[in-house]
Structure 1
């Protein structure tokens, strides 16, 4: 009895399969029809009119083996086959003078950025190779300029105190470029060498330290972490004119679950933003350079992320063209990873209400406030470190 039943079931399945096959290969009139896609799966790449977008298109092609396979070397358009800079990318690329339509009318900061946009590697002048010999729980990495000694010293005496804070290991470093005579800076080389020997917390590279080169500082720092401090559990990266409540940050970090800690990237997040087109604005970007909106990004005054994210950002940064605004660039790298920064109300990169600024308790629950002078940093830290401070 079992044999005929098996045969019957198999016949029914075969009949259903034939019906489905016939239905799927016939149109409503019963005619057989071959389904042909109406357009190619991979759309033909058309060069963007904006220089950064076009450079990103080239990088996307180079890093996408499936897409690259659709172009033979012979059939690749000239704009996608630009390999002229690979041999020595740190020489000025004078081709941009004709590739950016309004190059000659752009401010000098844009010309300088565009000429060296492909350079990501600069010699390190001052290093601290053993600063993370014991992997820290929290690495405080502060963007600074050579003349800003008073800011660095105030941070050392307040929220950037290295060592053991609240039973956790904290390491502080200051990230510098080269404040050159070409930008009318005084020569502070000897002073900086003394400061570095005294405090052993200066990291300096030989590149022009300018606003547009903060992205270079970001890329070099991500490389430095992987070689000098890969064991850092968390990283705070910020400016030298912010106040950071290190106690609050450590409390916040200790309260995270393992999964929360792994993908952590928090700050004062800006969404639905785009480039400023007003030439009078510090963040002005012309259309010839960039079109489109910005991905969500955390304001560069300061943000907090995990060591795991740092390693992934380092890899992603190699696939994202340098952009002259560093916090936007970091947002671009996060998007490349399929991630987005998380907004945290403890980060106040646009200050707090004036009436609360002299109230010690206003800073108790915050992680960052911007801006603050060196004197204000020391004052606020003294308030928060006072055992008798009572904020009910």
Structure 2
């Protein structure tokens, strides 16, 4: 009997050993594929974020002498409007990150959600919309032509804020610093600052109403958008967002909001400004640098379900009713603006029947497997 039991135990151990070896073999075989899919890097990142979380050490490692930090902001203005906010009660200073050649995108924004006259006359608040950009990067003759076009555009609209660093993806952090420094020096009394891409759609009536309520409540340390928590650096050299170990050696970024669009209160503007005077801004992922600055100043981002990530929000009146931002809009921005701000949207979505109908619609539109970067499923119940 004992002999039989030992045989059973030995057989069970052999099966366990073989199973373990098989699993390890499969993992080793597909390790590279798993890592390409960022499964492994995300596990490491979340472990670092939620178990280790030594971001204080990371913050200290980014501190550099102030003279060196100034090199990231010590650029000359090619176009500037220092009196843009003067003698006005500005609810929101809205910076749109743009490139010199994106003339049509700027035109579309001025004609739709970024039209200051519409906002003032219809919503009875002052919102200042300006465009942040660097110097054109092209052949000398093309650069000269583009810059002349920018001078003419700015003479007509008076809303371009340009410094003489090269406008490129790898200088987005310089553009972020430009925004916070300009806001601190030229428009410090604005209640809120928003930074947004030039292919974003902002539902200005909804955003203004929301920010007015926040301002009435006197909220401070306010930073809201689509929050990324435990995001890992991308180490693939073929990626646009590749960050080498020499630039950032840790497994996880501090929490940050998607750069497509987020809002901060004026006290946070001052804190981020102060952080940029002491931190190394060589990391060129601007929203990550924002997270590093905020973490150093002990400011945490708050998630708002109707701020989009990298994706477009679904087209439907039940979505427009609570929409704040949606990303990836260029050709459709005129139609979306007209439909999203139509008075019938509020009529169709109000009342008990309207709310029940919209809950069912949003469940259908938002609660789908692998539906990322726009509004989450829980937005259906709000």
State TM-score, norm by structure 2: 0.69
Are the equivalent residues in 1 in contact too, given 2:59–2:292 (CA < 8 A)?
Answer: no
Which structure shows the bigger proportion of residues in helix conformation? Answer: 2
Whether 1:338 and 2:294 are equivalent positions in the alignment is: no
Are the equivalent residues in 2 in contact too, given 1:244–1:368 (CA < 8 A)?
Answer: yes
SS in 1 for 2:260: strand
Specify the structure having the higher radius of gyration (Cα).
1
Whether 1:209 and 2:167 are equivalent positions in the alignment is: yes
Q: 1:161-240 counterparts in 2 under 5 A?
A: 161-163=115-117, 164=120, 165-181=122-138, 187-240=145-198
Structure 2: how far apart are the matches of 1:351 and 1:345? 13
Structure 2: how far apart are the matches of 1:298 and 1:215? 14
- Give the direction of change, closer, same or farther, for the CA distance of 1:58–1:162 in structure 2 (3 Å limit): closer
Structure 2: how far apart are the matches of 1:330 and 1:157? 29
- Give the direction of change, closer, same or farther, for the CA distance of 1:184–1:210 in structure 2 (3 Å limit): farther
Are the equivalent residues in 1 in contact too, given 2:225–2:257 (CA < 8 A)?
Answer: yes
Cα displacement (A) at 1:328: 0.2
Structure 2: how far apart are the matches of 1:157 and 1:203? 19
- Give the direction of change, closer, same or farther, for the CA distance of 1:208–1:372 in structure 2 (3 Å limit): same
State TM-score, norm by structure 1: 0.68
Structure 1: how far apart are the matches of 2:215 and 2:159? 31
Q: Which residue of 2 aligns with 1:319?
A: 278
Q: Which residue of 1 aligns with 2:109?
A: 155
Aligned counterpart in structure 2 of residue 387 of structure 1, from 330, 333, 343: 343
Structure 2: how far apart are the matches of 1:248 and 1:378? 17
Note the alpha carbon deviations across 1:35-68, whole angstroms, 9 max, x for none: xxxxxxxxxxxxxxxxxx99953726x69xxxxx
SS in 1 for 2:196: strand
Whether 1:287 and 2:248 are equivalent positions in the alignment is: no
Cα displacement (A) at 1:118: 4.4
Structure 1: how far apart are the matches of 2:242 and 2:62? 24
Whether 1:125 and 2:125 are equivalent positions in the alignment is: no
Mean Cα deviation higher: 178-187 or 143-152 = 178-187
Cα displacement (A) at 1:188: 1.1
CA RMSD of aligned residues (A): 2.4
Note the alpha carbon deviations across 1:337-369, whole angstroms, 9 max, x for none: 11111111011123246xx33x24322211011
Are the equivalent residues in 1 in contact too, given 2:98–2:197 (CA < 8 A)?
Answer: yes
Mean Cα deviation higher: 201-210 or 161-170 = 161-170
- Give the direction of change, closer, same or farther, for the CA distance of 1:351–1:181 in structure 2 (3 Å limit): closer
Structure 2: how far apart are the matches of 1:257 and 1:223? 22
Structure 2: how far apart are the matches of 1:350 and 1:311? 27
Structure 2: how far apart are the matches of 1:327 and 1:345? 18
Are the equivalent residues in 2 in contact too, given 1:253–1:261 (CA < 8 A)?
Answer: no
Are the equivalent residues in 1 in contact too, given 2:228–2:256 (CA < 8 A)?
Answer: yes
- Give the direction of change, closer, same or farther, for the CA distance of 1:55–1:333 in structure 2 (3 Å limit): closer
Aligned counterpart in structure 2 of residue 303 of structure 1, from 250, 254, 262: 262
Structure 2: how far apart are the matches of 1:351 and 1:344? 15
Q: Which residue of 2 aligns with 1:8?
A: none
Note the alpha carbon deviations across 1:107-162, whole angstroms, 9 max, x for none: xxxxxxxxxx9432100010112210114111111000111011001000111111
Q: Which runs of 5+ in 2 are unaligned?
A: 1-56, 355-382
Q: Which residue of 2 aligns with 1:367?
A: 324
Q: 1:35-54 counterparts in 2 under 5 A?
A: none
Are the equivalent residues in 1 in contact too, given 2:257–2:291 (CA < 8 A)?
Answer: yes
Q: Which runs of 5+ in 1 are unaligned?
A: 1-52, 64-85, 91-116
Are the equivalent residues in 2 in contact too, given 1:135–1:229 (CA < 8 A)?
Answer: no
Whether 1:256 and 2:260 are equivalent positions in the alignment is: no
Are the equivalent residues in 2 in contact too, given 1:242–1:371 (CA < 8 A)?
Answer: yes
Are the equivalent residues in 2 in contact too, given 1:55–1:321 (CA < 8 A)?
Answer: no
Q: Which residue of 1 aligns with 2:38?
A: none
Cα displacement (A) at 1:296: 0.2
Cα displacement (A) at 1:386: 2.2
Aligned counterpart in structure 1 of residue 61 of structure 2, from 57, 62, 80: 57
Are the equivalent residues in 2 in contact too, given 1:174–1:203 (CA < 8 A)?
Answer: yes
